[in-house]
A and B are shown apart, each in its own frame.
Chain A
């Protein structure tokens, strides 16, 4: 029996847990909705303006960096499996050194341009 079938069953168990817990809550918890209770909580004062405000997203550079680096990092895992093979082991070491070198160069460039500072 493949492990993935078990994982699917575990996933189903998780969904079931959530549904069952919410059913129990529905049976036990009181329900007395008021307009006051349903207002947005802003530390006790009346909410000001919209909740979905526009803001300067300072971290988008980090998101870009992450996408680039994470795609690179994925290639490291297959490498882990072939490093010990006698034919391409040592050669792959050199190749990976070049690969990581390019990544480091990119990170250094980003740091030098001041992109790794939050403000």
Chain B
């Protein structure tokens, strides 16, 4: 890495510290733009699936600025910390929930050259970092001193421990197929046969990702008919908005990760120059599926959630692992 890598192959010899700053700013910009895109897509796609129009006024053209307006609104709302809350833990929780997804986004490659930070075992690193976000939810639930919040946080924690395992196993299978733990290496090793070969693992990954994001049908931790809004019940204004941003940033991270692991990332027409666009488009398609599932499925019960993970996903993921290993040894 001797220069700044951009899609149009502009290789300048710039100060390495300036490069680090530029990379961090680029990742931050992507982190602030992509979740809003997904959020706006959710507004419009959900609305049209339900025979509505969705936001139409903010910004003029089909309400494109709705989420910007929401952000402006959130920042002007009063920030309430409940009297019984564990003050500092309560106030820090949104940052702990949000920042891990930013760091995860930094290591996901859009193409072999367009990547925030190139580290060796990025597949492992991204899994480790994503898992940290749940601590923010647990902090929020505990520090709120609210029964609903505590229940929601406990459900979120239980959900994470159950679905983390099938997800790790599915990623291990992809790493096995590629023979590397680097996400860039995985996209380099990918070929269209993987669509079939890694299909069960891909299914497990997608379901686990939905569950870790607490998206419907796995949104038991924020079930509004039972526990108000789970761990986020006591939050107002900007801190609440940060939890929402964390959810949508999570969708971005998981969708891009799915595109990189299972859909070949930059593989496609003119992959050398347009690879980054392919990864973004594939990730966006996955995000639309995530939204679609929210519209289509009812919420699962807590015990059904746990059973699905342990009785179905873990065995499927282990079978996928065995299949991958056998094919790798047979075909080399």
Q: Which residues of A contact B (CB under 8 A)?
A: 1-7, 9-15, 17-18, 21-22, 24-25, 28-33, 35, 37-43, 47, 50-53, 55, 57, 59, 62-63, 65-66, 69-70, 73, 76-77, 79-81, 83-84, 89-90, 93, 96-97, 100, 103-104, 107, 110-111, 116-119
Chain B 167-181 interface residues, beta-carbon cutoff 8 Å to A? 168-169, 172, 175-176, 178-181
Interface residues of B in 141-200 (CB under 8 A from A): 142, 144-151, 154, 157-158, 161-162, 164-165, 168-169, 172, 175-176, 178-181
**Alpha-carbon distance A111/B172, docked complex (angstroms):** 24
**Across the interface, do A77 and B172 meet the contact criterion of CB distance under 8 Å?**
yes
The answer to whether A81 touches B179 (Cβ under 8 A) is: yes
* B116 at the binding interface (Cβ < 8 Å): yes
8 residue pairs, one from A and one from B, having the closest CB atoms: A118-B303, A51-B145, A6-B117, A14-B99, A59-B158, A9-B24, A66-B161, A38-B83
Using known A-B contacts A11-B103, A18-B99, A66-B164, determine if residue A41 contacts B76 with beta carbons closer than 8 Å: no
Q: Are B20 and A5 in contact (CB under 8 A)?
A: yes
In the assembled complex, the Cα of A111 lies from the Cα of B28 at a distance in Å of: 45
Given A7-B119, A14-B98, answer yes or no on A80-B24 (Cβ-Cβ < 8 Å). Answer: no
How far is A54 from B242 in the complex, measured between Cα atoms in Å? 29
Partner of B329, one of A6, A52, A93: A93
Q: How far is the CA of A83 from the CA of B157 in the complex (A)?
A: 34
Contact with A along B15-28 (1 / 0, CB 8 A): 01001110111011
Which one of A10, A22, A47, A100 lies within 8 Å of B27 (CB-CB)? Answer: A10
| Tally of chain B residues near chain A (CB < 8 A) | 81
Q: Which B residues touch A14, using CB under 8 A?
A: 28, 95, 98-99, 102-103
B114 contacts A by Cβ under 8 Å:
no
Q: Are B84 and A77 in touch, CB under 8 angstroms?
A: no
| Complex-state Cα separation, A5 to B328, whole angstroms | 35
Mostly, the A contact residues are: helix
For chain B residues 233-256, which have a beta carbon within 8 Å of chain A? 233-234, 237-238, 242
Q: Which chain A residues border B326 with CB–CB below 8 Å?
A: 93
In angstroms, Cα B205 to Cα A99, docked, is: 22
Cα separation A55 to B164 with both chains bound (whole Å): 24
CB distance A66 to B78 under 8 Å?
no
Question: CB distance A6 to B23 under 8 Å?
Answer: yes
- Partner of A18 from B76, B242, B315, B321 at Cβ < 8 Å: B242
CB neighbours of A84 from chain B (8 A): 179, 328, 332
CA distance A90 to B329 in the complex (A): 7
Name 11 A/B residue pairs within 8 A (Cβ), A-sorted.
Answer: A3-B1, A9-B24, A31-B78, A31-B79, A38-B82, A41-B228, A59-B158, A62-B161, A76-B172, A79-B176, A104-B318
Most buried by A among B1, B326, B329: B329
List of B residues within 8 angstroms of A89 by Cβ: 329, 332
- B314 interfacial contact with A, CB 8 Å: yes
Q: Which of B1, B98, B164, B310 has the most CB of A within 10 A?
A: B310
Check: B299 CB closer than 8 A to any chain A CB: no
A2 vs B20: C-alpha distance when bound (angstroms) = 10
Is there a chain A Cβ closer than 8 Å to B106's Cβ? yes
CB neighbours of B168 from chain A (8 A): 70, 73, 76
Contact of A7 among B75, B76, B117 (CB under 8 A): B117
- Chain A nearest CB, measured from B36 CB (Å): 14
User: How far apart are B299's CB and chain A's nearest CB, in angstroms?
Assistant: 15
Contacts of B124 in A (CB 8 A): 77
Contact assessment for B162 and A13 in the assembled complex, using a CB-CB cutoff below 8 Å? no
Report chain B residues within 8 Å CB of A76.
Answer: 168-169, 172, 176, 321
Q: Which residue of B lies closest to A84 (CB)?
A: B179
| A37 and B80 form a contact (CB under 8 A) | yes
CA distance A75 to B144 in the complex (A): 38
Q: Does B9 contact A (CB under 8 A)?
A: no
Q: Report the bound CA distance from A30 to B179 in whole Å.
A: 56
CB atoms of A13 and B28 under 8 A apart: yes
Q: Are A39 and B180 in contact (CB under 8 A)?
A: no
